[in-house]
């Protein structure tokens, strides 16, 4: 493997001070920084007196820009990939670049650092396994499937949402998960940082007369095993899995894992849907 390296460098999601010493060192030392918005990255670099060559790497031009960055790596140039904020590839572009760089034998190093999903999860106080689903799905049927999964799984679900859509999304969640505890994390590490924790209904009540602004990350607490799980929800999830090509045996395994219910009970419910 060559010693040429593609560094993945997280940047602050609000507070400029949240950049690591190592991130600054790498940003200073590499030959070029690939970034989404060059103006935004230049501002960050200026705050730390770093003068670097930048190459833009946005999602819509990802395929085109990848070849230029791969050429630089092939010439032995070290490259740092940053996104506008937070950790690259966490709902941000970069996957094509990383897989192709790896295919060329380029070393990939990931620096730990700011990430809204992880900061929100940590502040929620919800401990245990979680699923990160990126941005909440826009398409109604996909959103509904996601909510069904949330109602069954004991994993917490972390997602990103725009402030303009958050009320609509909470109301959709409220239809099936009104009593479920959620944590709405807003403006993490910024002046108006706040965490609203409560049932979906309580959070809707608290927000209903407010204009939501700023960046939002949501966490829906996983289903607790004592919670009575509606059989119709299990049937709906089984139907979804069947349509996605899962065998009956796999459906039994997935639902047992997701609900924490006994295999026999799930088996009985599945028998009813044939
Ligand atoms: N890669 C980034 C990361 O590691 O957090 C996420 C990029 S994604 C395009 C942007 C979304 O992250 C925002 O729409 C919002 O949902 C969430 N987000 C970013 N900064 C945030 C903050 N300071 N507070 C709460 N959520 C934030």
What are the extents of the domains in the chain?
Answer: 5-110, 116-220, 231-273
Q: How far is the CA of 227 from the centre of ligand 1 (A)?
A: 31
Q: How far is the CA of 13 from the centre of ligand 1 (A)?
A: 7
115 lines ligand 1 (CB under 6 A): yes
What confidence score (pLDDT) does residue 1 get?
53
What confidence score (pLDDT) does residue 28 get?
98
Atom of ligand 1 nearest to the CA of 118: 5
Within this chain, domains 5-110 and 116-220 share the same CATH topology: no
What confidence score (pLDDT) does residue 265 get?
81
What confidence score (pLDDT) does residue 65 get?
87
Neighbours of 250 (CB within 10 A): 13
| Architecture of the domain delimited by 5-110 | 3-Layer(aba) Sandwich (3.40)
What confidence score (pLDDT) does residue 185 get?
98
Q: How far is the CA of 114 from the centre of ligand 1 (A)?
A: 10
Q: What is the CA radius of gyration of the chain?
A: 22
Strands 194-199 and 181-186 turn out to be antiparallel
Q: How far is the CA of 273 from the centre of ligand 1 (A)?
A: 40
User: pTM (2 decimals)?
Assistant: 0.89
The closest residue, in CA terms, to atom 11 on ligand 1 is: 160
Segments in the chain below pLDDT 70: 1-2, 225-229, 273-274
Residue 33 in contact with residue 44, Cβ under 8 Å? Answer: no
Q: What b/e readout covers 160-185, taking b as 16+ CB neighbours within 10 angstroms? A: bbeeeebbebbebbbebbeebbbbbb
Neighbours of 144 (CB within 10 A): 16
What confidence score (pLDDT) does residue 160 get?
98
Distance of CA 7 to the CA centre of its chain: 20
What confidence score (pLDDT) does residue 233 get?
80
239 lines ligand 1 (CB under 6 A): no
Mutation to probe ligand 1, out of 20, 116, 194 (largest number of atoms < 8 A from CB): 116
Q: Could you please report the per-residue DSSP string of 98-113?
A: HHHHHHTT-EEEE---
Q: How far is the CA of 43 from the centre of ligand 1 (A)?
A: 18
Mutation to probe ligand 1, out of 62, 135, 212, 215 (largest number of atoms < 8 A from CB): 215
CATH 3.20.20.70 fits 116-220, yes or no: no
What confidence score (pLDDT) does residue 230 get?
74
What confidence score (pLDDT) does residue 268 get?
83
What confidence score (pLDDT) does residue 274 get?
64
């Amino acid at each position: 493997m060559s010693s040429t390296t593609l560094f993945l460098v997280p940047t602050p999601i609000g507070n400029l001070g949240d950049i690591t010493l190592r991130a600054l060192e790498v940003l200073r030392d590499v030959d070029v920084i690939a970034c989404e918005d060059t103006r935004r990255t230049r501002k960050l670099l200026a705050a730390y007196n770093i003068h670097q060559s930048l190459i833009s790497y946005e999602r819509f031009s990802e395929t085109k820009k990848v070849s230029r960055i791969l050429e630089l790596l092939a010439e032995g140039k070290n490259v740092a990939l940053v996104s506008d904020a937070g950790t690259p590839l966490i709902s941000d572009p970069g996957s094509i670049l990383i897989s192709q760089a790896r295919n060329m034998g380029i070393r990939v190093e990931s620096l730990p650092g700011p990430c809204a999903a992880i900061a929100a999860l940590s502040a929620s106080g919800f401990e245990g396994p979680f699923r990160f689903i990126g941005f909440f799905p826009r398409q109604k049927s996909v959103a509904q499937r996601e909510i069904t999964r949330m109602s069954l799984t004991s994993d917490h679900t972390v997602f990103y949402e725009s402030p303009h859509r958050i009320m609509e999304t909470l109301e959709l969640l409220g239809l099936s998960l009104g009593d479920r505890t959620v944590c709405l994390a807003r403006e993490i590490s910024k002046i108006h940082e706040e965490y609203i924790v409560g049932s979906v209904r309580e959070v809707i009540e608290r927000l209903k007369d407010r204009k939501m602004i700023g960046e939002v990350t949501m966490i829906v607490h996983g289903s607790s095993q004592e919670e009575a799980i509606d059989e119709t929800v299990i049937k709906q999830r089984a139907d979804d899995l069947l349509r996605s090509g899962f065998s009956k045996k796999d459906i039994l395994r997935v639902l047992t894992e997701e609900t924490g219910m006994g295999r026999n009970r799930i088996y009985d419910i599945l028998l009813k849907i044939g």
